[in-house]
Amino acid sequence: MKLCVFDFDSTLMAGETIDFLAQEAGVGDEVKKITQKAMEGELDFFESLIQRVKLLKGLEVKKVNKICQNLPYMPGAKETIQELKKRGIKVIVFSGGFRNATSYAKEKLGFDADFSNILHAKDGRLTGLVGGEMMFNFSKGDMLRRLQELMGISPYETMAVGDGANDASMFKYANKKVAFCAKEVLKNQANIIIDTPNLLEILKFI
């Protein structure tokens, strides 16, 4: 194995970044319902992302960054990444969430690169708009395929780890398809299922 790609929200991080932001913005319940539908595959990911970010309009960027720098990471996250890297495996994070969270986590957890979305802000506040690399149901699979071509790594040498419907597109390009504390829609497409919320469990399958 040469490459391991992790989802961020509810995989490396214990929860959904947007739910934490929504609580601060006073729209927690509304956003949570949309998040749930998207992760279970009942709602198109792009549409759900646009709807949810729109509800965050007006939130101060300073508050966004403070929340993103105090997110709870999944047990075993740092240790698992360290062990994978010790074995010469590149560790990448794909997130339908936000750069404010994944770039900070990159420094804390030590993975090699992050690909995520960017919350648009103006005059120190969120505008309710979003752009970036991970906005569609197919985005993670598409990015994984392109990375593999760039790095000269085959699907056979790849592990993908996620929990929700928008992680399924990665599985096409990964020999080890890990559903980690996942929704049924993803478990149905996985060949490794882990229901214990500790990422160290992954090391048993390498």
**118-151 residue pLDDT tens:** 999 999 999 999 999 999 999 999 999 999 999 9
Residue 143 to residues 72, 92, 146, 190, Cα–Cα distance (Å): 26, 11, 5, 19
Q: Among 9, 114, 163, 167, which one carries the catalytic annotation? A: 9
Residue 94 to residues 25, 65, 83, 177, Cα–Cα distance (Å): 25, 19, 19, 15
Phi, psi (deg, nearest 5) at residue 60: -65, 135
Q: What is the mean pLDDT of the chain?
A: 96
Is residue 143 a contact partner of residue 173, using CB atoms and an 8 Å limit?
A: no
Domains parsed from the chain with CATH numbers: 3-205 (3.40.50.1000)
CA distance linking residue 54 with residue 23, whole number of Å: 14
pLDDT digits (tens, 9 = 90+) for 14-67: 999 999 999 999 999 999 999 888 878 888 999 999 999 999 999 999 999 999
Q: Among 7, 114, 163, 167, which one carries the catalytic annotation? A: 7
Active site residue 9: yes
